[in-house]
A and B are shown apart, each in its own frame.
Chain A
């Protein structure tokens, strides 16, 4: 299937543990941030987003944290499951522009 990269940073976690995936974004003017999940052979899938007027947002088993001071974004996955194994990447957008910048991604392995 479609692959996303052979040399991505990798995070390996035990099933049931919490996962934290980090992302440093590049543009201080970015005001909208998204996390995507990409499974092997599939297109990226939206997980959660956050706007710059917030520093935390929670979804189902996922939490995104935004630290604008150091331009850092993180995705926390609670009680990680084998189905969470995928590549995760962050994206940033500024002022509703057409250009969304995507990070290269982190590969998450979940050990049963």
Chain B
């Protein structure tokens, strides 16, 4: 997890509230990703970024938005949290596509 931090590490919130998760890296990697991990599904890509202000959708992007205003930070926002968004969220970084991704420690989000 060196060089990648996520905050908060745990959060409990109520349905309908907005939630923002933060990923911070000190590796100066260009590419950043947000995944969710659920039993039986493995890691699924929510959104990714290929540079400052350059982002795109992954396979499970509905209900999520992202922003990247500087290289080191990638924010994931749930505009109106739902119970189906209860999950563990991981941020990852990579120097380039087609190379290994390095993951943060994760954020456990519970939506009641």
Chain A hits for B1, CB < 8 A:
42-43
**Chain B residues with a Cβ closer than 8 Å to the other chain, count:** 31
Q: A2-B37, A43-B90, A104-B42 are in contact. List 4 more A-B contacts (CB 8 A).
A: A2-B88, A3-B88, A43-B104, A102-B42
Please, which residues of chain B bring their CB within 8 A of the CB of A10?
Answer: none
Distance from A35 Cβ to chain B, minimum over Cβ atoms (Å): 10
B106 engages A2 (CB within 8 Å): yes
Cα–Cα, bound, A42→B66 (Å) = 23
Q: Please judge, given known A-B contacts A44-B90, A96-B97, whether A105 and B103 are in contact too, CB under 8 Å.
A: no
The digit string for B36-77, where 1 denotes a CB below 8 A from any CB of A, is 010111111100101000001011000000000000000000
Closest chain A CB from B51 CB (angstroms):
12
Does B37 lie within 8 Å of A4, measured CB to CB? yes
Instruction: Check B103 against A44 for contact (C-beta < 8 Å).
Output: yes
Number of interface residues of A (CB under 8 A): 28
- Residues of chain B at the chain A interface (Cβ within 8 Å): 1, 4, 31, 37, 39-45, 48, 50, 56, 58-59, 88, 90, 92, 96-106, 108
User: Which residue of the partner chain, among A32, A45, A98, contacts B56 with CB atoms under 8 Å?
Assistant: A98
Contact check, A96 vs B103: say whether CB atoms are below 8 A apart: no
The reply to whether A43 and B42 form a contact with Cβ atoms under 8 Å apart is no
Decide yes or no: A98 and B39 within 8 Å by CB, A2-B88, A2-B106, A42-B106 being known contacts.
no
Could you give 12 example pairs across A and B, Cβ below 8 Å? A5-B39, A6-B39, A36-B103, A43-B90, A43-B104, A43-B105, A43-B106, A46-B100, A96-B98, A98-B45, A100-B101, A102-B43
Report whether B90 and A96 are in contact in the complex, using a CB–CB cutoff of 8 Å: no
Chain A residues packing against B (C-beta within 8 Å): 2-7, 31-32, 34, 36, 42-46, 49, 89, 93, 95-100, 102-105
Inter-chain CA distance A93–B101, complex, in Å, is: 11
- Taken together as a complex, chains A and B put the C-alpha atoms of A82 and B78 apart, in Å, by 39
State in angstroms the CA–CA spacing of A34 and B104 once bound together.
17
Q: Is the CB of B97 within 8 A of A97?
A: yes
